[in-house]
Amino acid sequence: MAILPRRLADDVMDSAKRVAGRIAIAALVCFGALGVASAQQPPVHFWHPAGLPPGAIGGQQLLRGGPLPGFFQPVEITAPPGVMISLAEEGRFNDPQPAPLRAGLLVGQVYRLCAFNLPFQPGVEVFPTIEVIDRLYAPRGLETRFPVHIDIPREDLEMAAQGKFVTRVVYVENPGAALPTQGTATEQSWFDVTPGMDPLAVADTLGRPIAIVRLGGRVPDHNVGPDMSFLFGCPPVLKLPPRPAVPAPQAPPKEQAQPGNSPAEAAPTAPPAKSRSEGVPR
């Protein structure tokens, strides 16, 4: 009589082993397929909408790997003549400087700026933010000569002062799809998208998004002063000198470049800016 329950128990254990084996095989297949599916990513740069809070897209970009953490991407911030810009450092805004302002910003961090002395709007201050979400891979020695050009035009400053929220996604233009328009070093052409569209997705179709500029929205409490949450923690800034009037000596080695043949070497100053309407593809 003792043999019967033992056989019954063996049968139960055999069936349990079969079930366990099938579960293990199913898990292998599921996780294998999941790994293959996760490896197949679409050939775009960002999958996140631009409407995320400042810092979210850059943080996600850092998680994707690559030589981005700790890199100070040189940027050049241009604004209308007369506008003073100051960057937030160590809990306060530093000494204002006239545009253009050059600085090295960390990729993935959010920097708060203060722009004032706006044309025809005395006393008005605008606090834009800059979030660098990617970097350039310039040849050695040319990092500061080719900074990311971030233009804050007068129109955007006026709209931000009126209470509107302006989002500008700066991208590196794809040369194969570039429009044959004359660009300038001081002004930047842009496309306008409707509020229902995602500017980051649009910029991704035109090139490689590299920075997000947000204007409008919050203003600090003038009685208390800007707090650290308003300044996004004041990430470190690498101060860069203004654009030199003479070519930098480290830029090209002698055997590679021919300074005499390049007018840019002799006169690196930017050409005279043309009207905005010529460069803006509408």
Q: Can you tell me the distance from the alpha carbon of 211 to that of 222, in angstroms, rounded to the nearest whole number?
A: 28
* φ and ψ of 229, to 5 deg: -70, -35
If the CB atoms of residues 84 and 185 are measured against other proteins, the closer one turns out to be: 185
Distance of CA 127 to the CA centre of its chain: 17
If the CB atoms of residues 224 and 255 are measured against other proteins, the closer one turns out to be: 255
Q: Which amino acid is at 18?
A: R
If the CB atoms of residues 116 and 171 are measured against other proteins, the closer one turns out to be: 171
Residues making up the chain, counted from first to last: 282
Among 83, 203, 231, 234, binds other proteins (CB under 8 A): 203
- Kind of pairing, strands 84-89 and 110-116? antiparallel
Segment interacting with other proteins (CB under 8 A) among 5-13, 85-93, 115-123, 124-132: 5-13
Q: Which of residues 44-73 bind other proteins (CB under 8 A)?
A: 44-45, 50, 62-72
In the complex, minimum distance from the CB of residue 117 to other proteins, in angstroms, rounded to a whole number:
23
CB 160 within 8 A of CB 216: yes
Q: Which of residues 139-198 bind other proteins (CB under 8 A)?
A: 139-146, 148-151, 156, 159, 163-176, 178-185, 188-195, 197
In the complex, minimum distance from the CB of residue 140 to other proteins, in angstroms, rounded to a whole number:
5
Binding mask 213-252 for other proteins (x = CB under 8 A): x----------------------x-xxxx----------x
Strand partners, 92: 89
Among 21, 53, 98, 225, binds other proteins (CB under 8 A): 21
The verdict on 13 binding other proteins (CB under 8 A) reads yes
Q: Which of residues 79-138 bind other proteins (CB under 8 A)?
A: 104, 136-138
Which residues fall within 8 angstroms of residue 190, CB to CB, at 6 or more apart?
168, 280
Among 9, 11, 98, 119, binds other proteins (CB under 8 A): 9
Q: Can you tell me the distance from the alpha carbon of 173 to that of 114, in angstroms, rounded to the nearest whole number?
A: 28
R_g of the chain, CA atoms, integer Å: 27
Among 31, 119, 225, 242, binds other proteins (CB under 8 A): 31
- The closest of 82, 83, 97 to 240, measured between CA atoms, is 97
